[in-house]
């Protein structure tokens, strides 16, 4: 039987990148006692107050159809939030509400790119980013995010990758998997390239509320001169520990939203009203859980650095945000995948190979910071022991 070309484009961009995680889950199901440091899921439950809002909304009948843009209360809350944060007015027609950041990115890329177009994207990148680009027929063009530059995208590297087919510059700050944050100067330089070469800027900012003490987050939306070419996506998945509710949005020029709205209506025809009410409540008050997660994640990043950096040739990258830390394991002589498989086999610790996120992280592994301190410390001890064993061998 014949299938659409999109199935071929996405064939190798799905579950294969989560091989170690899937193997670890299978071993746990068989009764294996192991430490899982693969998936970036908040370490606290969704706040009860938000669940109560969703429950109350369902009880009063907020379970019918919505619309392609989003429920009015939520759209107003988004406009108020971005107007207050960025110090300039945002109108309701600059937002589209969707089930999570992933869907928002899919919609955005489908609206902005087509077959043969190029999207300049950092390498490494979140494991599903290639897929949301390839779905439209566009091509990901990797821009190396170099460790010596703090994993921040540099304008010179973008220019080196630029061709006349480029349509979008895709940013992710705070960044997954590195925890890097683009500075104001970084964005100014990247924005100049976008203006000079008529590129859209698409920014995934889902970790905006996960910034560690001493670091500063800046959005390209902060630059008025970039406003008409910037689309930002985000959600409450991380900031409010609500990944399973799948509630996100995109914000951009009103013209972009008007052009993308029929596509949104074709895909989903709106998100669930009771979840929209919960999201509105979430956005109209400070998150009750974000600050605690930031404190714990930054503490665990420091714990891993103290326990592993310089041990048996390992090097730990200190993140500025998010819920992950990177460990350079190249001194072991193994790839990230082989190290992860070996670590799971001998020490029952599951980590993500750097190769799941791009070629720049070949010989690295990513560790989640969402396990309790004592579990994180135990995992660090096992990783150190394993690296020392490999070094001796």
Domain positions in the chain: 5-45+289-392, 49-283
Segment 261-319, tens digit of pLDDT: 999 999 888 789 999 999 999 999 999 999 999 999 999 999 999 999 999 999 999 99
Domain at 49-283: CATH code: 3.40.640.10
Buried-state track 138-148, b at ≥16 Cβ within 10 A, e below 16: bbbbbbbbebe
∠ at Cα 351 (349, 353), nearest 5°? 140
Task: Report yes or no: 206 and 320 within 8 Å, Cβ to Cβ.
Answer: no
Average pLDDT in the chain: 96
pLDDT at 251 over 80: yes
Task: Place 16 in a pLDDT band, splitting at 50, 70 and 90.
Answer: confident
Domain at 5-45+289-392: CATH code: 3.90.1150.10
Q: Which of 9, 133, 68, 67 is nearest to 263 (CA)?
A: 68
Name the pTM for this structure: 0.95
Q: Do domains 5-45+289-392 and 49-283 have the same CATH topology?
A: no
The Cα–Cα gap between 320 and 178 comes to 9
H or E stretch including 232?
Answer: strand 230-235
- Tell me what pLDDT residue 14 has: 65
Beta bridge partners of residue 211, listed in sequence order: 321
Instruction: Give the Å distances, CA to CA, from 325 to 172, 176, 223, 354.
Output: 16, 10, 30, 11
Q: Is 122 helix (H, G, I), strand (E, B) or coil?
A: strand
The pair of three-digit structure tokens given for residue 351, joined into one six-digit string: 């980590």
Q: Is 245 exposed, middle or buried (0-12, 13-18, 19+ CB in 10 A)?
A: buried
Task: Place 18 in a pLDDT band, splitting at 50, 70 and 90.
Answer: confident
């Amino acid at each position: 039987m014949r299938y659409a070309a999109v199935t071929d484009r996405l064939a190798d961009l799905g579950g294969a990148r989560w091989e170690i995680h899937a193997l670890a889950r299978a071993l746990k199901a068989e009764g294996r006692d192991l430490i899982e440091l693969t998936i970036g899921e908040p370490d606290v439950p969704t706040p009860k107050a938000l669940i109560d809002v969703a429950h109350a909304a369902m009880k009063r009948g907020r379970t019918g159809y919505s619309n392609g843009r989003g429920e009015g209360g939520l759209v107003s809350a988004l406009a108020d939030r971005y107007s207050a944060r960025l110090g300039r007015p945002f109108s309701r027609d600059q937002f589209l509400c969707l089930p999570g950041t992933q869907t928002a990115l899919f919609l955005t890329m489908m609206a902005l790119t087509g077959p043969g177009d190029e999207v300049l994207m950092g390498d490494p990148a979140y494991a599903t980013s290639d897929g949301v680009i390839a779905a439209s027929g566009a091509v990901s063009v990797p821009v190396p995010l170099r460790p010596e530059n703090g994993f921040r995208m540099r304008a010179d590297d973008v220019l080196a990758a630029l061709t006349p087919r480029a349509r979008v510059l895709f940013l992710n700050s705070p960044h997954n998997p590195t925890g890097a944050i683009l500075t104001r100067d970084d964005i100014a330089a990247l924005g100049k390239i976008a203006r000079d070469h008529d590129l859209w800027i698409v920014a995934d900012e889902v970790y905006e509320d996960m910034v560690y003490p001493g670091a500063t987050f800046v959005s390209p939306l902060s630059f008025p001169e970039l406003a008409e070419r910037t689309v930002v996506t985000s959600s409450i998945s991380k900031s409010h520990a609500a990944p399973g509710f799948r509630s996100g949005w995109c914000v951009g020029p009103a013209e972009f939203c008007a052009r993308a709205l029929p596509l949104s209506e074709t895909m989903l025809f709106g998100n669930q009203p009771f979840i929209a009410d919960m999201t509105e409540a979430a956005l109209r008050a400070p998150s009750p859980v974000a600050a605690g997660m930031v404190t714990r994640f930054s503490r665990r990043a420091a714990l891993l650095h103290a326990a592993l950096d310089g041990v048996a040739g390992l090097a730990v990258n200190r993140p500025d945000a998010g819920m992950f830390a990177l460990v350079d394991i190249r001194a072991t002589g193994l790839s990230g995948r082989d190290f992860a498989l070996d670590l799971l086999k001998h020490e029952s610790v599951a980590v993500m190979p750097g190769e799941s996120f791009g070629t720049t992280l070949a010989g690295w592994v990513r560790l989640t910071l969402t396990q309790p301190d004592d579990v994180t410390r135990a995992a660090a001890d096992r990783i150190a022991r394993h690296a020392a064993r490999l070094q001796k061998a």
